[in-house]
Amino acid sequence: NAGVTQTPKFQVLKTGQSMTLQCAQDMNHNSMYWYRQDPGMGLRLIYYSASEGTTDKGEVPNGYNVSRLNKREFSLRLESAAPSQTSVYFCASSTTGGSGANVLTFGAGSRLTVL
């Protein structure tokens, strides 16, 4: 059981280039998320998809777009990369835990550097 798989693990871009981060989960979770992690700032939500066919903005959506391709896959696109988007990106999916709240399962991360 692979859990949450995201690709690529590492990417270097030049300012203005575009790229797409791919994410897939095999746990039949309804909800999926994209976070970015910057030193000292924790995990900040970029976009999420509560269910197949829906997407919503999180805390820091500017400069990004997402696509919920199907129940398994949720991609994050940078149309014109900027140095401020240098970060580690994490995809996650969630189900309802025993406490009734969303329990997130994270991918291993994608380190993106924009020069």
Task: Give the binding site for other proteins (CB under 8 A).
Answer: 4, 30-31, 33, 40-45, 48-51, 56, 58-59, 90, 92, 94, 96-97, 99-109
- The closest alpha carbon to 111, from 92, 86, 93, belongs to 86
**3-class DSSP state of 97:** coil
Residue 59: CB minimum distance to other proteins, A = 8
Residue 16: CB minimum distance to other proteins, A = 29
Question: Smaller CB distance to other proteins: residue 74 or 114?
Answer: 74
Which tokens belong to 31? 């909800």
Residue 13: CB minimum distance to other proteins, A = 21
Distance CA 110, CA 104 (A): 17
Do the beta carbons of residue 104 and residue 91 sit within 8 Å? no
Distances, alpha carbon 42 to alpha carbons 37, 75, 79, 90, in Å: 6, 21, 24, 12
Question: Smaller CB distance to other proteins: residue 17 or 72?
Answer: 72
Question: Smaller CB distance to other proteins: residue 85 or 93?
Answer: 93
Residue 14: CB minimum distance to other proteins, A = 26
Question: Smaller CB distance to other proteins: residue 38 or 79?
Answer: 38
| Single-letter amino acid code for the residue at 94 | S
